Amino acid sequence: MDALRSSEWYAGDDRNAYIHRAWMRRGVPSSAFEGRPQIAIANTGSDLVPCNSHLAEVAQSVKNGVYEAGGIPLELPITAPGETQVRPTAMLWRNLAAMSAEEMFRANPIDGVVLLGGCDKTIPALLMAAASVDLPAVVVPGGPMLTGHFRNEALGCGTDVWRLSEEVRAGTLSEADFLRSESSMIRSKGHCNTMGTASTMALVSEALGVIVPGVAGTPAPDARLLEAAHHTGRLAVELVAQDRRPSTFLTKANFHNAIVALAAIGGSTNAVVHLLAIAGRLGIELTIDDFDRIGAEVPLLVNLQPAGHYLMDDLYRAGGFLAVLREVRDLLDPTALTITGRPLVDHLDEARIWDPDVITPRDAPLQPSAGISVLRGTLAPGGAIIKPAAASPHLLKHRGRAVVFDSVEDLRERLDDPELEIDEDSVMVLRGCGPQGYPGMPEVSNMPLPRKLLERGIRDIVRICDGRMSGTAYGTVVLHVTPESAAGGPLSLVRTGDWITLDVRARRLDLEVPPEELSARVPNEATVAGYARPRRGWERLYVDHVLQADRGADLDFLVGGSGSQVARESH
């Protein structure tokens, strides 16, 4: 092992080395600074990030492993947006969390880092930071919660919020019963137990190679998560010794495997913007078309909500994520390495399916082809995506008249207006929800349906938006429309009554308005009013520099990395 990076701070007898050591002593022996790797434990735990509130316990197990392997563990709190808590949307803060984490990794005397995340944006932000600073790094995912039940019915975190709230509006469930289910929804520590974004990003990150194979999906309350955290702490010391950094093993092949995994598990569409952003930090050329090319024909094998029936602790007991990957082994790139130094495919030999109703065999998939589909056309010249696994098959080819909403507020105000002209053949269009326009690209694309449709038993119609949707959501939803309306995309010019054609098989999304008529249109005043540029602070910086969804919605000046070197001393 070459000289440790931390020795640039601690080695020597001069005044600066003295300062760095002295302020860190506080009962620590001098041997702590003599050739022992300094391992940061980047902890996104917070009482205001409820899905990550248990990470202090996980961090302690990591510390034990680091100590055992001869390293020095140093807990480093990291900015974390709580998906259910922060306004206007957690996505607004992902890049801020990534930027602050990157700067703290670079600025401090550390040799490697263990990344603790769980809630939707935390693992993506940590990986974006780690890719840019390029120190040895490994992820420990916080794990999903256990399944809650209400009146003998399993509750899917998030998915059943959408379902039950619609039943209240339809008049088939009382508001009192809906509220009674609230205390049953979150049974234990951990993140959402559906195949939402948190679960998706943990599993996809394991397929990417940055989590020890077999760990992702371990339930948060399971003692085996703490055991895995201990072993990962030991591994972090080994990574430093071998100088195994993200740039040394992450290639396009790793992202290929992540995309295959995303399709096989029926994962969240949010993984698209996160993987694009991570690849951008590594300098790997990944596009939305790669998700279609690699993943569209991959079979759906995991029977989990929202695309299926079961929940994350069922997946774990049924054989876990490696059992899923074993079924699609022939679709994986065998050259892709993992954080262990071995190829991902080498970790699949012992995996088995123990419950074929939860993890279906390759020859009997839930759906034969269920990956993300990328749409283009006159309404989305830069692309849009749809998740067929969560859509209604009969709506995947559809032509209908647009019903346009200029903002989330406009939607809420008019949705249940009895005079709203809408039926099951209509296409709901919501704009002003892209990275610039909201700002931050909120999870609102899975618009609730008008009450009058719900009362008629209708539960899905085609919906189109430049925002995102929760990974726990479902429906025939076209999202991430690029360019967004705030950036002057055709979405800003759609009018109620325009005909729109969706053809997923043909990969088309078209606005049936002649080009000459469209070029003469201007956005209405309500649309423009929703795009007021923020005056100051992070929102101003974000809006001025955020890229479109097809480039991961990262900030333009954060693409790529700056490495780990800091040339100047602080004193």
Q: How confident is the model at residue 189 (pLDDT cuts 50, 70, 90)?
A: very high
How far does CA 269 lie from the centroid of its chain? 8
Give the distance, in angstroms, between the CA of residue 91 and the centroid of all CA atoms in the same chain. 10
Same domain, yes or no: 402 and 302:
no
Distance between CA atoms of residues 403 and 421, nearest Å: 8
- Please give the C-alpha separations between residue 431 and each of 52, 94, 372, 436, 511, in angstroms, as whole numbers: 32, 21, 22, 11, 14
What's the CATH code of the domain at 491?
3.50.30.80
pTM of the model: 0.95
Does residue 279 sit in the same domain as residue 423? no
Identify whether 41 is part of a domain.
yes
What distance in Å separates the CA atoms of residue 26 and residue 17, rounded to the nearest whole number? Answer: 16
CA 217, distance to chain mean position in Å, is 15
The residue segments making up the domain with residue 160 are 148-185
- The answer to whether 548 touches 556, Cβ cutoff 8 Å, is no
> Does residue 431 share a domain with residue 290?
no
Q: Which residues of 516-545 are buried (b: 16+ CB within 10 A; e: fewer)?
A: eeeeeeebeeebeebbeeeeeeebebbbee
Torsion, Cα 17 20 24 28, to 10 degrees, reads -10
Q: Is residue 327 located within the same domain as residue 414? A: no
381 within domain boundaries: yes
Task: Give tens-digit pLDDT for 478-494.
Answer: 999 999 999 999 999 99
What is the band of 169 on the pLDDT scale with cuts at 50, 70, 90? Answer: confident
416's CB contacts (< 8 A; 6+ apart) are 169, 450, 451, 452
| Burial (Cβ within 10 Å: 0-12, 13-18, ≥19) of residue 444 | buried
Say if residue 108 is in the same domain as residue 179.
no
Is the residue at 105 inside a domain? yes
Mean pLDDT to the nearest integer, 412-436: 96
Is the peptide bond prior to 306 cis by the omega test (within 30 degrees of 0)? yes
pLDDT digits (tens, 9 = 90+) for 293-347: 999 999 999 999 988 899 999 999 999 999 999 999 999 999 999 999 999 999 9
d(C-alpha 114, C-alpha 65), whole Å:
11
Report yes or no on 434 lying in a domain: yes
DSSP E strand boundaries for 323-396: 373-377, 380-386
Total number of domains in the chain: 3
Asked whether 194 and 311 are in contact (CB, 8 A), the reply is yes
Residue 411's contacts (CB-CB under 8 Å, 6 or more residues apart) are 405, 430, 444, 447
Beta strands in 1-99 (DSSP E): 38-43, 72-77
80 part of a folded domain: yes
CB 375 within 8 A of CB 385: yes
> pLDDT exceeding 90 applies to what percent of the chain?
86
pLDDT tens-digit profile of 221-253?
999 999 999 999 999 999 999 999 999 999 999
Q: Check whether residue 53 and residue 105 sit in a common domain.
A: yes
What is the average per-residue pLDDT within 87-102? 96
Residue 23 is assigned to a structural domain of this protein: no
Written in H, E and C, the secondary structure of 207-237 is HHCCECCCCCCCCCCCHHHHHHHHHHHHHHH
